[in-house]
Structure 1
C-alpha cells in the first residue's frame, strides 16, 4: 500500500500483471486512477516520482491509444532495477475513493 508520507519502491507485480506501466503525465495518471481504477477496485491513486534518465533510456515511450496516453512498459522482472533507479520518495499526489 502506498502511504501519504511516500515510499521508495513499488511492490512486486502479481502474476497477472507482467508489465508495470508508469505514465508520463499527471493528467493521464488522473484519468487512469479516477476513470478506470475507481470503477474496478473502488479507489485510485496518482503518484509522483523521479527515475534516473539513464535507466529509462533503455525503454521506449509507448502510446497507449493516443498522444495523450504515453507510458513506459517495464517488464515485471525489471521492476527491482526500476525501483533502484527511483530518485527520492514516491509521493501520492491525488487519490480518488469511490
Structure 2
C-alpha cells in the first residue's frame, strides 16, 4: 500500500511577469530568482498573499496575483517559519540556490486563486 507523503499548502503573491514565467512552466515551477533576490518567500496564509498582491504588486506592476500550491512537508522541514512583521505575516525563506529543489517538491500544479489590478482594487 502506497502512503501519500504529507504536504503543506502555501501561497505566493506574484506580478504579471512572474505569472507568465510560471505559466511557461506548465504551472509547475517558479522562475529563478533575479540577482537582487537572494530569497524566495512563499507565505503561509492566503490573506497575507492577498495583502501583498493587492497592496504591493498592483502599485509596482499594475497587477497582482495569488498562487496556491502544495509542497512536500519533508522538504519544508529543512526551513523554519519566519515572521515578517506581525504574527499574521508568516513565510518560509528559501535561499535562491534551493529554488530548483523547492520546485521539485511541489506536488500538483500551481493555481491562481485571486487577481487584482489597478481597476479592481480602487
**TM (normalized to structure 1)?**
0.94
Q: Residues of 1 paired with 2:57 and 2:70: CA distance?
A: 23
2:109 counterpart residue number: 89
Query: TM-score, length-normalised on structure 2?
Result: 0.76
1:33 and 2:53 equivalent?
A: yes
Using the alignment, how far apart are the partners of 2:48 and 2:107 within structure 1? Answer: 21
Structure 2 unaligned segments of length 5 or more: list them. Answer: 1-19
Instruction: Give the drift of 1:57.
Output: 0.2
Unaligned ranges ≥5, structure 1: none
Provide the secondary structure at the position in 2 that maps to 1:44.
strand
CA distance in 2, matches of 1:90, 1:21: 15
Offset, 1:40: 1.1
CA distance in structure 2 between the partners assigned to 1:76 and 1:43 by the alignment: 24
Instruction: Measure, in 2, the Cα distance between the counterparts of 1:33 and 1:58.
Output: 27
CA distance in structure 1 between the aligned counterparts of 2:61 and 2:88, rounded to whole angstroms:
24
What is the CA RMSD across the aligned residues, in angstroms?
1.0
> After the TM superposition, which segments of 4 or more aligned residues of structure 1 sit over 3 Å from their partners?
none
